[in-house]
Every structure is written in structure tokens, then in C-alpha cells.
Amino acid sequence: MEYQNILTTCIYCGCGCPLYVQILDGEIVGVLPSKEHPISRGQLCIKGWNATAFVYHSDRLKTPLIRRGDSLEEATWAQALGLVAQRLATIRDESGPDSIGFLTSAKCTNEENYLLQKLARAVIKTNNVDHCARL
Amino acid sequence: MSVIEQVRAHVKERLQQLDGVVALRQTVEGTAPFLFREGDNLDQLALEPQYPLAPVVSLLHKRDPAVRIGVVARGGDVRALVEMAKREQVDPERLHIIGVACTDDEAQDCRCSDPAPSIDAWPHAVLVGTPAQGAGPNPLVAEYDKMSLEERREFWERQFSKCIKCYGCRNICPVCFCESCALEDPLWVEKGVLGPPFPMFHLIKAMHMAGRCVACRQCELACPAHIPLTVLYDLMRRDVEALLGYVPGEDLGMGPPLSLTLEEAPLRAKVR
Ligand code: SF4
Ligand code: SF4
Ligand code: SF4
Ligand code: SF4
């Protein structure tokens, strides 16, 4: 029998509370707050306590899905991202760059947010960039 | 030999006969509960900060009905194990307790009146360290006692209005092990609505702590809203002792006084 706690970071908001994921024989069995860490100080909100609830959930998506007509079809990441890039280019060419907006997240790193606005401004050429905190 | 060295020596010895020992492990990442097994580096075994270890014992006992483990337990852990054993959440025959007496400073920190694990009734147990005297009653309870009924209501209204309904006080509590919890029953607590129903949310948990709360203070430490939850549960403990002569966690041989049927989990796995 193997039981241990693995330190990770809550994925649900910009606070980024550290938490432990309890692992019993390779299976996630729960969450514990990190008592020593200065951010969470042994306390979590309801999302942190349930941060692993999706892992074995039957509704969890395990591959990208592409909508074709009324059905969603499984796809590879290359197919899904290729389709997104192609549609963004088409919409920009047909309706202009400002017909597109980019929404980013407090949960991303500064660098990821920088990259997203770079994609918006330098590739699509729009200043429509906003943030989940204002949605 | 220092206390921690004595604990490590006991763990080393017990590991030769047991499947593992539950204790805190300190690594560069931090300190958290861990199942030490033979050959593991016992220099990593730590005694702080205090995490509730009784639920880990229960988890392992339920997962494997044959597993025999030890636990490095403070007073609060042993009191929790006592109440859990009475409700078939842990199996005393398959548990070796290495009890650690807290120092007086630690007891003051936790406001613990009973900082030395009482191990006599357990089939396999040792105690390390010198039992300290323990802290006096919670000063907030004395303040509360002086309040009028109206002031008490205002006090709880003010405190409970801070609650963010995180369920942390229930999740961390070693004696909250019900498979289905009244606090998740839409009859009492509507899902997706903040704040929690006043005062039902907190009073349901308080009522369920009658004859169960072992005053480990883990709930209060886990509360992001800094609600002095132990005032509530200390009052409950005081009434249960006065009316029924029962102190939860004290005596392994004494049956719990209330046969409140919560949907207590049989000895099998629970995943939260
Ligand atoms: S536990 Fe709550 S506050 Fe902390 S990062 Fe997760 S969502 Fe944010
Ligand atoms: S209610 Fe609080 S103090 Fe009482 S046993 Fe649970 S966590 Fe410990
Ligand atoms: S039903 Fe009561 S005792 Fe059981 S887990 Fe919920 S709050 Fe705790
Ligand atoms: S831990 Fe505090 S904030 Fe969270 S549900 Fe309990 S009382 Fe409310």
C-alpha cells in the first residue's frame, strides 16, 4: 500500500493556492490544504477543496471535439487548432480584425497573457483584449 | 534522545512488523501526511505542522481490510481515533499508536486541555514525551457567556455572515466522516447559493458534533473567514459533558451517549 501527498497549485483562480493531492495506490482520493504555504495558510475555498473532482468525472473531455452539423466529433489537437487558425483567418479577412475579441484569464501566467495579447495585436491586428475578471 | 529521535526509533522498529506507519513527511516541497514503509528515509519524519492523521488511518483501514499500520499521533489525533473506533471507522486491532505528548507551548497554541494522548485502552500503543498540563478554557467562551441572548445572536450573525461556504470546516474535521452529509442535502442547504442559510448551516454541524467533537481545532484553522468555530463546538462539548457526563475522545470503552443516526460510513473506502 502506498499513500502520499503531492503538492500542486489550485487551477481555479489567480490566487493560485497551493494544495496537496492525496494519492492512495496511484489513485486520487482527496485534497488537503497546505498549512505551511504563505498563500493558502492551510485554508482553501470550495473550488480548491474540489480541485480534483473533475479528474475521474464521466463528463470529462479527453480529446478535442469538433462540431460538424449537430454532432461533436473527436479530433486531434493538430486538427482542432488548425481549424481554429483557419476560421480566425477567414473571419478576419471577411469581417475585419475588430470582429474578433480575445478573452484571457487571471489563472494564466504573465507570460501567457503577454503571448495572447501579442497574438491579438500582431497577428490578428485588433486591440480587443479583455480579461476574465471583467466578464 | 530527543522526542523526534525517539519517535523515529519506534517507527523504525514497528515498520519491521507493520505494513507502514502514517506520519508527517517533510521534503523540500513542504510537510504533509505520508505512509512510511520499511526502507523509507525516516529523517524526513516530522511532527509539525499538525494535520489530522486519523482520517488517513481510516482511509487505509477501509481500503484494505487486512492492512496493519501504525500512526504517529498527538493528543487530538488519538481522541479522534477513539471516536472513530467507536463508529467502526478504524480498527484498533490493526493499529499501533506511537503517541507524542505535546509541549506546554504547543498545548497553549491549540488551546488544548488534554495534550497527552491517553493510550492505555489501545491494544498496541506507546507514548513518547512528557505530558504537559494543558491550556485552560477558551477565553472567547467566557466572553460569550457574559453576553445577553440578543448579543449572542448578533455575535453569530456577524461571524456567520463571513462564511464563504467552503465546507473546509467539515472537510478537515476528523469526526465528519458521513457518506452523505446533511450540509449537502438540498432540504437544508440550497446548492449554489451564498451565504449559507443562517443559522442552520452552522447549527447542523454543531448539533452533529454533540458527543463527537474532540476539540482538535482543525476546523477553526481551516476556516478562510476566521470564524471562531471552536466557541460553538466548545459550548456543545460543555453541554454534553454537563448533561450526559460524556467527553468525546476520552474513553475508548465508553459508548457514545447519542444514537443520532447520521449516515455513518461502514468500514469501506470513501472518496471525497
Ligand atoms: S482555492 Fe479558491 S482562492 Fe485558492 S486558488 Fe483555488 S479557487 Fe482560488
Ligand atoms: S469540530 Fe473542529 S475541533 Fe471538533 S473535532 Fe471537528 S475539526 Fe476538531
Ligand atoms: S452530516 Fe454532520 S457529522 Fe456528518 S459529515 Fe455532515 S456535518 Fe459532519
Ligand atoms: S470553514 Fe469557515 S468559511 Fe468555510 S464553510 Fe466552514 S465556517 Fe464557512
Q: Tens of pLDDT along B61-95?
A: 999 999 999 999 999 999 999 999 999 999 999 99
Same domain, B166 and B228: yes
Same domain, B112 and B204: no
Residue B225 is assigned to a structural domain of this protein: yes
Q: Do the Cβ atoms of B119 and B35 come closer than 8 Å?
A: no
Strongest mean pLDDT among B20-34, B185-199, B252-266? B20-34
pLDDT of A102 strictly over 90: yes
Instruction: State mean pLDDT over B223-246.
Output: 95
Ligand at minimal distance from the CA of B258 is 3
Ligand at minimal distance from the CA of B165 is 4
Instruction: State mean pLDDT over B228-234.
Output: 95
**Cell (9 digits) for A102:** 480575445
Task: For ligand 4, pick from B157, B165, B217 the residue to mutate: most ligand atoms within 8 Å of CB.
Answer: B165
pLDDT of A79 strictly over 90: yes
The rounded mean pLDDT for chain B is: 92
What confidence category does residue A76 fall into, taking pLDDT thresholds of 50, 70 and 90?
Answer: very high
B169 CA distance to ligand 2 centroid (A)?
A: 8
B167 CA distance to ligand 3 centroid (A)?
A: 11
Is A33–B222 a contact, with Cβ atoms under 8 angstroms apart?
Answer: yes
What residue owns the CA closest to ligand 3's atom 5?
B176
pLDDT of A123 strictly over 60: yes
pLDDT of B270 strictly over 50: no
Residue B115 is assigned to a structural domain of this protein: yes
Residue B267 is assigned to a structural domain of this protein: no
What residue owns the CA closest to ligand 4's atom 1?
B223
Which of the 8 DSSP states describes residue A122? I
Residue B266 is assigned to a structural domain of this protein: no
Q: Do the Cβ atoms of A41 and A134 come closer than 8 Å?
A: no
Q: Ligand 4: residues whose CB is within 6 Å? A: B 163-169, 222-225, 227, 229
Residue B133 is assigned to a structural domain of this protein: no
Residue B180 is assigned to a structural domain of this protein: yes
Same domain, B203 and B162: yes
Query: What pLDDT does B126 receive?
Result: 97
Partners of residue A45 in chain B, C-beta under 8 Å: 164, 166, 224
- Which has more confidence, A135 or B21? B21
pTM of the predicted model, to two decimals?
0.90
Query: What pLDDT does B268 receive?
Result: 44
Query: What pLDDT does B272 receive?
Result: 41
Ligand 2 site, residue B81, Cβ cutoff 6 A: no
Ligand 3 site, residue B183, Cβ cutoff 6 A: yes
Enter the ipTM. 0.91
Task: For ligand 1, pick from A9, A37, A47 the residue to mutate: most ligand atoms within 8 Å of CB.
Answer: A47
**Which architecture characterizes domain A3-49 according to CATH?**
Single Sheet (2.20)
Is B35–A33 a contact, with Cβ atoms under 8 angstroms apart?
Answer: no
Tell me the C-alpha distance between B175 and B70, whole Å: 19
Tell me the C-alpha distance between B68 and B161, whole Å: 45
Nearest of B98, B91, B23 to residue B62 by alpha carbon: B91
Nearest chain B residue to A21 by CA distance is: B32
Per the structure, the count of domains in chain B is 2
Same domain, B156 and B252: yes
Nearest of B272, B2, B260, B254 to residue B128 by alpha carbon: B2
pLDDT of B18 strictly over 50: yes
pLDDT tens digits, one per residue of B99-139 = 999 999 889 888 888 888 999 999 999 999 999 988 988 89
Q: Tell me the domain boundaries of chain A.
A: 3-49, 61-94, 96-135
Same domain, B157 and B190: yes
What confidence category does residue B260 fall into, taking pLDDT thresholds of 50, 70 and 90?
Answer: low
Range of lowest pLDDT (A108-117, B22-31, B222-231, B256-265): B256-265
Same domain, B120 and B145: no
Q: Count of alpha carbons within 13 Å of B6, Cβ hemisphere only?
A: 12
Of A34, A35, A45, the CB nearest to B224: A45
DSSP of B109-153, one letter per residue?
HHT-S--S---TTSSSEEEESPPP------HHHHHHHTS-HHHHH
Note whether A14 contacts B: Cβ–Cβ < 8 A. Answer: no
Query: What pLDDT does B100 receive?
Result: 97
Same domain, B68 and B155: no
What confidence category does residue B271 fall into, taking pLDDT thresholds of 50, 70 and 90?
Answer: very low
Of B20, B168, B172, the CB nearest to A1: B20
Nearest chain B residue to A30 by CA distance is: B272
Query: What pLDDT does A11 receive?
Result: 86
Residue B264 is assigned to a structural domain of this protein: no
**Cell (9 digits) for A7:** 503538492
Q: Do the Cβ atoms of B138 and B237 come closer than 8 Å?
A: no
Using CA atoms, how far residue B177 sits from A122, B89, B137, B139, in Å, is 55, 8, 27, 29
Tell me the residue range of the domain where B108 lies.
Answer: 3-128
Of B35, B172, B224, the CB nearest to A1: B35
Partners of residue A46 in chain B, C-beta under 8 Å: 164-167
B84 CA distance to ligand 4 centroid (A)?
A: 23
Instruction: Give residue ranges of B with CB < 8 Å to any A CB.
Output: 19-20, 22, 25, 29-35, 37, 49-51, 56, 59-60, 63-64, 67, 164-168, 171-172, 221-224, 269, 271-272
pLDDT tens digits, one per residue of B148-200 = 999 999 999 999 999 999 999 999 999 999 989 999 999 999 998 988 998 99
Ligand 2 site, residue B173, Cβ cutoff 6 A: yes
Same domain, B69 and B172: no
Query: What pLDDT does A12 receive?
Result: 87
Residue B169 is assigned to a structural domain of this protein: yes
Same domain, B18 and B121: yes
**Cell (9 digits) for B233:** 463546538
User: How close, in Å, is residue B272 to chain A by CA atoms?
Assistant: 5
Q: Locate cell 464521466: which residue?
A: A58
Ligand at minimal distance from the CA of B213 is 2
pLDDT of B140 strictly over 80: yes
What confidence category does residue A134 fall into, taking pLDDT thresholds of 50, 70 and 90?
Answer: confident
Same domain, B78 and B51: yes
Tell me the C-alpha distance between B98 and B212, whole Å: 23
Coil vs helix vs strand at B214 = coil
Instruction: State mean pLDDT over B18-28.
Output: 98
Tell me the C-alpha distance between B247 and B215, whole Å: 10
